[in-house]
């Protein structure tokens, strides 16, 4: 396809641009390796032949971390390719395990599903894994040499995931609370305001919302034919769309389905269906924009459908 060998492509497209000084396609000097006593030297020099691209590359944790950062930051190719790449290609019999190209995707989490895109591999005495969490823009790598490497690498990956990911979730919530929560209001005599907070669930919770004296939460409940306030909430989630001085959010107002059923169709999340489902003047009711100062401090919020901006008080 390219009239070049895999080794040439690896050097040109990955090793050289990222400065991976500890990555090799052919066997490097044995002084650079971790050689376990049990058949380590045999597997160190083992030639996989045509299978070399699938598991015959030598590398270091530093270089693997650099590669992971390059994938997450899309430094080698456009971000739309990364987003397309970080998707399942098929599912398995396990609800928390899917397969990508070449990703082994594991999902876990109590409040929301978190997908970790990983790739593990083993050859003889050597085992490895690289794991990336696009939601948190972080990852980790484990390289092992010795007996029973696959099980040990998987166990270490488990330990890192169950400690690191919940801590990152909590840290993100604390950062979001410090940056976005609080009261926003117009102070020139117009009764318009919105109050945001965080709780045990994802997103920014809207605790009150008034526009020119009208209770917007009650109005939206009426539009959705909701009579029980406890079954209705408005939560803001970042869309990932940003421009200088602005961050886009969407409000999710999950509809309450009938409680008569307890199967997959009545218990599944369908909020993705209703995003941008209601518009006024070609603007979605659920569109919000945070306006930031030069230092990134939130100055105001704009519920776009209301054509108004509420300064943070």
Give 287-308 as a DSSP string. EEEEEE-TTS-EEEEEEGGGT-
Query: At a CB cut-off of 8 Å and minimum separation 6, what does 220 contact?
Result: 232, 234, 253, 285
The listed CATH number (3.40.190.10, 3.30.565.10, 3.40.710.10, 3.30.470.10) that belongs to domain 6-175? 3.40.710.10
As annotated, the residues of the chain forming the CATH 3.40.710.10 domain(s) are 6-175
Per-residue pLDDT reduced to its tens digit, 233-258 = 999 999 989 999 999 999 998 755 55
Whether residue 227 contacts residue 209, with contact meaning beta carbons closer than 8 Å, is answered with no
Flag whether pLDDT at 151 surpasses 90. Answer: yes
* Residue 86: how many other CB atoms lie within 10 Å: 16
pLDDT on residue 78: 94
What's the burial of 192, exposed, middle or buried (CB within 10 Å: 0-12/13-18/19+)?
A: buried
Q: What average pLDDT does range 290-309 have in this prediction?
A: 95
Whether residue 165 contacts residue 138, with contact meaning beta carbons closer than 8 Å, is answered with no
Flag whether pLDDT at 229 surpasses 70. Answer: yes
Task: Give bridge partners of residue 122 from the DSSP assignment.
Answer: 127
Cα 240 to Cα 83, 230, 243, 248: the distances in Å are 12, 29, 10, 7
Strands (E), 186-245: 193-197, 204-211, 214-215, 235-243
**Segments in 19-115 forming alpha helices (H):** 40-44, 52-55, 61-73, 79-85
Flag whether pLDDT at 212 surpasses 70. Answer: yes
Residue position matching structure tokens 């979730």: 169
Per-residue pLDDT reduced to its tens digit, 86-109 = 999 999 999 899 999 999 999 988
Predicted confidence band of residue 260 (pLDDT cuts 50, 70, 90):
low
Separation between Cα atoms, residue 134 and residue 152, nearest integer Å: 24
Separation between Cα atoms, residue 265 and residue 110, nearest integer Å: 20
pLDDT on residue 219: 94
Separation between Cα atoms, residue 262 and residue 252, nearest integer Å: 23
* Residue 299: how many other CB atoms lie within 10 Å: 14
Mean residue pLDDT of the chain comes to 92
Cα 308 to Cα 189, 217, 239, 258, 282: the distances in Å are 14, 17, 20, 36, 15
Whether residue 255 contacts residue 224, with contact meaning beta carbons closer than 8 Å, is answered with yes
pLDDT on residue 267: 74
Flag whether pLDDT at 189 surpasses 80. Answer: no
The model's pTM is: 0.87
pLDDT on residue 202: 87
């Amino acid at each position: 396809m390219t009239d070049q060998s895999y080794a040439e492509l690896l050097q040109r497209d990955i090793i050289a641009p990222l400065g991976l000084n500890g990555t090799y396609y052919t066997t490097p000097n044995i002084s650079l390796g971790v050689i376990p006593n049990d058949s380590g030297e045999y597997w160190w020099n083992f030639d996989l032949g045509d299978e070399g691209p699938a598991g015959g590359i030598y590398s270091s944790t530093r270089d693997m971390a650099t590669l992971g950062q390059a994938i997450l930051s899309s430094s080698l190719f456009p971000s739309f390719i990364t987003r397309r790449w970080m998707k399942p290609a098929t599912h398995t019999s396990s609800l928390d395990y899917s397969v990508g190209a070449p990703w082994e995707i594991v999902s876990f989490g109590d409040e929301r599903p978190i997908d970790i895109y990983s790739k593990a591999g083993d050859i003889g005495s050597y085992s490895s894994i690289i794991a990336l969490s696009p939601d948190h823009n972080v990852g980790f790598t484990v390289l092992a040499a010795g007996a029973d490497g696959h099980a040990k690498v998987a166990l270490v990956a488990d330990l890192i995931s169950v400690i690191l990911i919940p801590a990152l979730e909590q840290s993100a919530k604390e950062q979001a609370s410090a940056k976005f929560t609080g009261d926003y209001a117009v102070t020139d005599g117009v009764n318009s305001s919105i109050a945001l907070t965080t709780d045990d669930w994802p997103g920014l919770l809207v605790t009150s919302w008034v526009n020119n004296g009208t209770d917007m939460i009650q109005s939206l409940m009426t539009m959705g034919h909701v009579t029980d306030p406890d079954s209705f909430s408005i939560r803001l989630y970042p869309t990932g769309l940003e421009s200088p001085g602005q961050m886009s959010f969407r409000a999710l107002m999950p509809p309450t389905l009938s409680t008569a059923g307890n199967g997959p169709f009545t218990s599944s999340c369908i909020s993705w269906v209703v995003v941008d489902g209601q518009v006024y003047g070609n603007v979605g009711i659920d569109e919000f924009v945070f306006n930031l100062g030069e230092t990134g401090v939130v100055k105001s919020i704009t519920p776009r459908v209301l054509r108004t901006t509420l300064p943070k008080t």
